[in-house]
Amino acid sequence: MSTAFTVWCTGLPSSGKSQLAEALSPVVRARGLQTEVINSGKMRRTPLGASLGFSKDDRDTNVRRHAFAANLLVKNGVVAIVSAVSPYASTRAAVRGELGDFLEVYVSTPKAACIDRDKDGAWAKALTGEIRGFTGVDDPYEVPDSPDVTVDLSQLSLEAAVNRILKSLEDRGLVAPLQDNAPEDAGLLDPSLRST
């Protein structure tokens, strides 16, 4: 088993994609696989993304760079967990076709909840017109037609969302199920991240 794959988390800004990706990574690692998180927000602050704006072409280029990085990781036996708005369905479909074993996770947290979750004020600035071309305000987000997993982090705890993804990975044979004699918390969400 233990071949690498890509988990691609897509959804509106502030939907919880990054939090979900960071929580999923140690859970997959606990199943004996190496993992790396590719976070779009962080990538845009590196030389790989800093020169890009938010036009459709720049957004597509950004997503393609994420896919390129994911492909390199997977070829080297590392599970790539990508957190990126990736708003355009055609680009996501192309990426899926390029990356082999691929799980699309639609973080379906609704717009109102994303606005409430926003820590840096980007939604507020976009809604008042201070930021232009913001996905979900004046730039579209094309909802996935048939994602492999859907999680709404306004309704599900982080633990439940991670476990839903993990179950899908197990069902596809991408991660091994826990053995009967495994410790109770092996491969489950870090208890410190669990909601009470």
Write the DSSP assignment of 23-84 as a string of letters.
HHHHHHHTTT-EEEEEEHHHHTTSTTTTT--SSHHHHHHHHHHHHHHHHHHHHTTEEEEEE-
Residue with tokens 């990085």: 69
Q: pLDDT for 18-29, tens place per residue?
A: 999 999 999 999
pLDDT at 2 over 50: no
Q: pLDDT for 57-95, tens place per residue?
A: 777 888 888 899 999 999 999 999 999 999 999 999 999
Mean pLDDT of 139-145: 94
Query: Could you tell me which of 87, 71, 63, 74 has the C-alpha nearest to residue 4?
Result: 74
Task: Name the residue ranges covered by the structural domains of the chain.
Answer: 6-178
pLDDT at res. 54: 61
> pTM to 2 decimals?
0.86
More confidently predicted of 4 and 2:
4
Distance CA 18, CA 13 (A): 10
Query: Could you tell me which of 119, 94, 92 has the C-alpha nearest to residue 18?
Result: 119
Residue pair 151/165 in contact (Cβ under 8 Å)? The answer is yes
pLDDT at 148 over 60: yes
Report the 10 Å Cβ neighbour count for 101. Answer: 15
| Contacts for 98 with CB less than 8 Å, ≥ 6 apart | 67, 71
Pick the CATH number of 6-178 from 3.10.129.10, 3.40.50.300, 3.40.50.720, 3.30.230.10: 3.40.50.300
pLDDT at res. 181: 47
Q: The tokens of 3 are what? A: 């071949």
pLDDT at res. 155: 96
Active site residues: 86
How large a percentage of the chain has pLDDT more than 90? Answer: 62
Paired with 151 in beta bridges are 107
Distance CA 6, CA 73 (A): 9
Report the 10 Å Cβ neighbour count for 25. Answer: 19
pLDDT at 41 over 80: no
Report the 10 Å Cβ neighbour count for 177. Answer: 14
